[in-house]
Amino acid sequence: MDISGMIRDKKVLVTGGTGTVGKKLAQRMLKLDAEVVRIYSRDEHKQFAIQEHFTYHGLDMKRMRFLLGDVRDKERLRRAMEDIDIVFHLAALKHVPACEYNPSEAVKTNVIGTQNIIECAMETGVSAVVYTSTDKAASPTNTMGASKLLAERLISSAGQWKGPRKTRFLSVRFGNIINSRGSVVPLFGKQIARGGPVTVTDPAMTRFFMSADRAVDLILESLAISQGGETFVFKMPVLRVGDLARAVIENSGNDVEMSMIGLRPGEKMYEELMSEEESVRALETDALFIILPYGNDRLEYQHYYDNARVTAAGTYSSTDTEVMSLQEIKAMLNESQFNGG
């Protein structure tokens, strides 16, 4: 697949572009010779910080644009999307407890904000919209997951009512990003620096994890093969939270205690990346599952994706996947440039 040719000389908008994956994605767009990369977010301080970061690393700031705005503001969003070729929609409220206590805010950003993206993309002639979702959208038990699932359905259905417009809409779904802002790894590091204890909800809890660079790879691979309307679900490594905490502690060279604090509101002991209901309309490759829009025949779609096969019915859960060893977790932490100190 020619990902370079797909991005070269294109004008790109990244909503939520100051987040961990958004920043990596913007960097990749510059390296792939996008003509313009617009970062759209509501936090001026993070925009300033990312400008400093990119300048320090010698990136071409002449091709960067930094736009303050919220996906809830449709008029501002439409202006930001003018003359754009590809939209990567990463802006969202993602913290489970915060969404649980403020569900109306989660709906405004995650659901209404996504509908605004869809409508503005159609109005401005965008060629493709890529929505980034979460494992918590599969069989959701909390507000954040439910709002992200509804946003996925909005993206999938957009292809059915877009009329003659050529915009492709697709979703990508993955789990936790290692060392991302707000994740447990930086929290563990701060707790170790204070002398502990490292607080763990439950050591036996399992989660899907991947690096931000790998997430960007899969976002671009999905865009390259999408026919429109799919939800791409990446097969991710699984770890136990207790093992993750132990790996961070050992990498830091310190000896601190772990303390179990129990599940937070809306949390569960495992995560699912795909529900059984979704599996019956899914194809898969060695790297990912491809959940097709409602009403599409899997056998008719199969030839669009290299080495795709029909998926067996069932859930894809962190309880059914072999967990990473302690050494594998340490290697992933080192790869993400986190040493626990």
- The whole-angstrom separation of Cα 308 and Cα 289 is 9
Catalytic, 235? Answer no
Q: How far is CA 290 from CA 151, 230, 231, 319, in A?
A: 17, 6, 6, 21
Q: Which amino acid is located at 68 in the chain? A: L
- The whole-angstrom separation of Cα 225 and Cα 47 is 31
Q: How far is CA 117 from CA 22, 100, 233, in A?
A: 16, 24, 21
Q: Is-cis flag, bond preceding 197, omega within 30?
A: yes
**Residue 200 main-chain phi, psi, to 5 deg:** -125, 130
Taking the CA of residue 158 as centre, how many other CA atoms within 13 Å lie in the half-sphere pointing to its CB?
A: 33
Parallel/antiparallel/unpaired status of strands 282-284 and 288-291: antiparallel
Nearest 10 degrees: CA dihedral of 60, 61, 67, 70? 50
Is the backbone of residue 255 left (phi > 0), alpha (psi -120 to 50) or beta?
A: beta
The total of other beta-carbon atoms located within 10 Å of residue 197's CB is 15
Q: Which of 11, 24, 46, 136 is catalytic?
A: 136
State the Cα angle at 321 between 154 and 270, rounded to 5°: 60
Collapsing DSSP to helix, strand or coil, 36 comes out as strand
Q: Which amino acid is located at 166 in the chain? A: K
Parallel/antiparallel/unpaired status of strands 128-134 and 86-89: parallel
Which residues are part of the catalytic machinery?
Answer: 136
